[in-house]
Amino acid sequence: MIAGAGTLTSILTLRAEYDLLNIIVAIIVNMIVVYMVLKSSGFLEKFLGNSGLNVLRKIFGVVLMAIAVKIFSANIQNLF
C-alpha cells in the first residue's frame, strides 16, 4: 500500500502550515510521479542494476529523514 498512517499524518501536519489547494496540487503531482515510477519500475531495475538501486535507496532514506526532522522540529517549536 502506498497510502497509510504516515501519509495521513503528513497531510495533517502539512495542513497546519500550507493552504489546502497547495496540498491538493502536491498530492496530484505526487500521484502522477508514483504512477510513472511504478509503471517503469521493471525498466528502472534493469537500467540501474543492484548497486544503483542500493544507492537510490540510501539517497531517498536521507531525504525521508530530512523531512521527518523538519516535521519533528516544527512540532516541537509549536509546543514551546
Contacts made by residues 14-22, CB under 8 angstroms, sequence distance 24+: 16/78, 17/74
Whole-model pTM over 0.85: no
- Per the CB < 8 A criterion, the answer to whether 15 and 77 are in contact is no
For residue 68, the SS3 value is helix
Mean pLDDT of 39-56: 92
Residue 23 has pLDDT above 60, yes or no: yes
- Read off the pLDDT of each residue in 38-63 and give the average, rounded to a whole number: 92
Confidence at 1, pLDDT banded by 50, 70, 90? low
Percent of the chain scored above 70 by pLDDT?
96
pLDDT of residue 2: 67
Question: What is the pLDDT, as a whole number, of residue 27?
Answer: 85
pLDDT of residue 20: 87
